A = this chain, B = another copy of it.
Amino acid sequence: MPKLVDHEERRAHIIDALLRAAANTGLHSVTMRSVAVEAGISVRLVQYYFDTKEQLLLAAMTRLTTRMGERIQHRLRGTGATPDPRAVIEAVLLEAVPTDEESRVFHLVHTEYAVLSVTDPALGGRPFLAAPDAMEAFLVTHLTAARDAGTADPDLDPRHEAVVLLAASAGLGLSVLLGQRTPEDATAVLRYHLGRVLPTRPATTQDGPPA
């Protein structure tokens, strides 16, 4: 039944199968065969849409980073038209904590790729450095703005704080993946820390339940 299929759609379908398989049994265990089974198609078709395994892995990595960027953008839009700095920063950082199943799959496989990229030169670690660098710059900007606006301790160093925030959210996300912490706990810890860096009220006032 060769009825002129949408290539991009088919490729996305196969990549999703790969991500599912990688999240279940590990990236190291994905084979052409296992991806084919997961996608419900024959091995030949996986070969047909991605000539080689390496290209398949590369395409999956690309989709992964793209999709994560989209998720962050989506969260940012969710903060409304005139969000305060803390809401923006919180939105960005909380994306690192896997809550729903999709984000768990994405972060797990993304982490597997990142670790793999350290030893595998063919993967070229650049994609794994570009995104965090952008995030860092983003956080520095907003932290500086908050400090200059007087909603943060004037003594804080925006760059250092940004790096700490990024590292903490990455570490928390990882601990959730490893099953050491619940997503709720990780979220609470992140909010706590953010509350100390960027108090919702000037530091002199006690904050009651903020509704």
Contact = CB atoms under 8 A, between A and B. Distances in A.
Interface of A: 23-26, 28-29, 108, 111-112, 114-120, 125, 128-129, 132-133, 156-157, 160, 163-164, 166-172, 174-175, 177-181, 185, 188-189, 192-193, 196
Given A28-B116, A118-B108, A192-B160, A129 B179 contact: yes
14 contacts: A26-B120, A118-B178, A128-B178, A160-B188, A164-B168, A164-B189, A167-B167, A167-B171, A167-B172, A167-B189, A168-B168, A168-B171, A170-B174, A170-B175
A108 B120 CA distance: 13
A179 B125 contact: yes
Contacts of A117: 178
B170 A24 contact: no
Contacts of A108: 118-119
A157 to B, nearest CB: 6
A173 to B, nearest CB: 9
Total copies of the chain: 2
Nearest to A188: B160
Given A167-B172, A179-B125, A189-B164, A25 B119 contact: yes
Contacts of A120: 25-26
A72 B14 CA distance: 45
Contacts of A23: 119
A108 B117 CA distance: 12
Contacts of A168: 164, 167-168, 171
Contacts of A171: 166-171, 174
Contacts of A156: 196
**Smallest CB-CB A-B distances: 8 pairs:** A167-B171, A171-B171, A26-B119, A170-B171, A28-B28, A168-B168, A160-B192, A167-B172
